[in-house]
Amino acid sequence: MACGLNLYICHMNSLTEENYLKALFNLSAKSGEVNVNDLSKQLGIKMPTVTSMMKKLAEKKLVYYESYKPLRLTEKGKKEAGVVIRKHRLTEMFLVDKMGFGWEDVHEIAEQIEHIQSPVFFEKMDELLGYPKLDPHGSPIPDKNGKMLWKEYSKLSECKTGDTIKLAAVINTSVEFLKFLNSRELRLGLKMKIKTVEPFDNTMIVSYGKHLSETLSHAVCDRLLVEKV
């Protein structure tokens, strides 16, 4: 009984650490640094608890931690975080591509599967998928070593009247937002023509497929990443 309890505690500690590393990785994508307060808000965990975990991760050489200074992942920390994100995004792709799930339904399932400690399991998943570079939401899938190739996209909100673009990724992957996109038949890879941009509030009127005059708010356009064609 005690042995089983110890294994459970170890598993929960590992899961918690991986969630911290993943959050640090995502928050530090642009600047390489993360404020402890921002990490606390992202995870919904109180500051003292976050600080305590940062000290533990620093002892494991996963995080550079100093009081009152921004947090930074070490190279070891970046690799471990990248591997967790790889498992998550591969799982999301498998659920959509092989199991028929909608892109709005896969996040919570992937959150559970990403903590499986079996590299061969995810290598097989990668093989069955044909080694994809992007997940269903257009985010890059890190390689086996946690390395991620970022591609620069523009926000739809930054485009102008007359531009023809292709939807490449979404910034917001909440169920509500993805369902909204579904209701408008907006999907990755879709080509779109910008007909007008309203000067007052930057609302766009666009055309694509059977939608000859679809209105998209600035809030929506700001969450869609595109590339010009």
Residue range 97-141, pLDDT digits in tens: 999 999 999 999 999 999 999 999 999 999 999 999 999 999 999
Q: What is the pLDDT of residue 10?
A: 43
Look at residue 1 and tell me whether its pLDDT is greater than 80: no
- Mean pLDDT (the chain) is 91
Q: b/e for 81-118, b at 16 or more Cβ within 10 A?
A: bbbbbbbbbbbbbbbbeeeebebbbbbebbeebbbeee
Question: pTM of the prediction?
Answer: 0.87
Count CB atoms within 10 A of the CB of residue 74.
15
Q: How far is CA 226 from CA 133, 192, 211, in A?
A: 17, 10, 18
Under DSSP, the state recorded for 63 is E
CATH 2.30.30.90 boundaries in the chain: 154-228
Pairing verdict, β 204-208 and 164-170: unpaired
192-203 pLDDT per residue, tens: 999 999 999 999
Handedness of CA 87, 188, 170, 138 (dihedral sign): positive
- Residue 2 pLDDT greater than 80, yes or no: no
- Of 140, 136, 133, 86, give the one whose Cα is nearest residue 114: 86
Say yes or no: domain 154-228 is CATH 2.30.30.90. yes
Q: Where in the chain is the domain with CATH 1.10.10.10?
A: 2-73, 82-151
Summarised one tens digit per residue, pLDDT across range 53-91 is 999 999 999 999 998 899 999 999 999 999 999 999 999
For 2-73, the fitting CATH number among 1.10.10.10, 2.30.31.10, 3.30.360.10, 1.10.3720.10 is 1.10.10.10
pLDDT at res. 29: 80
Question: d(Cα 153, Cα 164) in Å, to the nearest integer?
Answer: 14
Residue 4: the pLDDT is: 54
* Residue 13: per-residue pLDDT: 56
Provide the residue count of the chain.
229
Residues of the chain with pLDDT > 90, as a percent, come to 82
Q: State the pLDDT at residue 9.
A: 40
Distances from the Cα of 196 to the Cαs of 46, 140, 159, 218, in angstroms? 45, 31, 10, 13
**CATH architecture of the domain covering 82-151:** Orthogonal Bundle (1.10)
